[in-house]
Amino acid sequence: MAARSLTERRKNETRLDIARTAASLFVADGLRATRAEDVARAAGVAPRTFYRYFATKEEAVAPLFAAGAQQWAEAVRRAPEGLSVPEALRHAVTDALAAEDAAAVASLDWVRSLLCMARESAALRAVWADACHASEETLLALLMERVSAVEPTPELRLAAGVASAAVRVAVESWAAGDAPAGGDGGLAALAVRCLGALDDFPWP
């Protein structure tokens, strides 16, 4: 079990290293001009290793989107038990999206750059859409835990979908502008604002 965990950890580290390399090259050289082989070489892996992890060059940045979704999920899980669902969601986005250190700011800058590129790339938009769908499924599971639900009812599915859409709109709107990552006009504040627009939603 320990050996398997170590192997999985190394695989995840490799995937994330390739993802960061791909994003860096996309920003520096352009998405169209960057080949999967260029990413592999810059990441220090063989092309066959690259294709073992990713089917296309666009898919190589999926771990960066997934990392953000994981932060959001963990923040929802950590939200105090006494909070209602909408309160827990607002608490979570403030926690997950606050740009309080250089690493967080850099991560959000990657997301902004990639989403700007996605406007011109259907393949990259598809990677982002897949990440958003996976995040919604994770949120549904967390909401089920929070309200002690045994089955994913339509109401819970709708709640997860609405909350996920609000955060997605916040991220995309922020990425389309030039506001800083943190502060009153930053991403966390915008996400709270988007969730606040749903105050009349019948949350579970």
DSSP-assigned letters across all residues of 103-127: HHHHHHHHHHHHHHHHTT-HHHHHH
What pTM, to 2 d.p., does this model score? 0.90
pLDDT of residue 200: 86
Give the CB-side neighbour count of residue 20, counting CA atoms within 13 A. 12
pLDDT of residue 41: 97
CB atoms within 10 A of CB 164: 21
From first to last of the 204 residues of the chain, give the pLDDT tens digit.
Answer: 555 577 888 899 999 999 999 999 999 999 999 999 999 999 999 999 999 999 999 999 999 999 888 888 889 999 998 898 899 999 999 988 887 777 777 888 888 999 999 999 999 999 999 999 999 999 999 999 998 999 999 999 999 999 999 999 999 999 999 988 888 888 889 999 999 988 888 888
Element (H, E) at 72: helix 62-78
For residue 121, which of 66, 61, 53, 43 has the smallest C-alpha distance?
A: 61
pLDDT of residue 3: 53
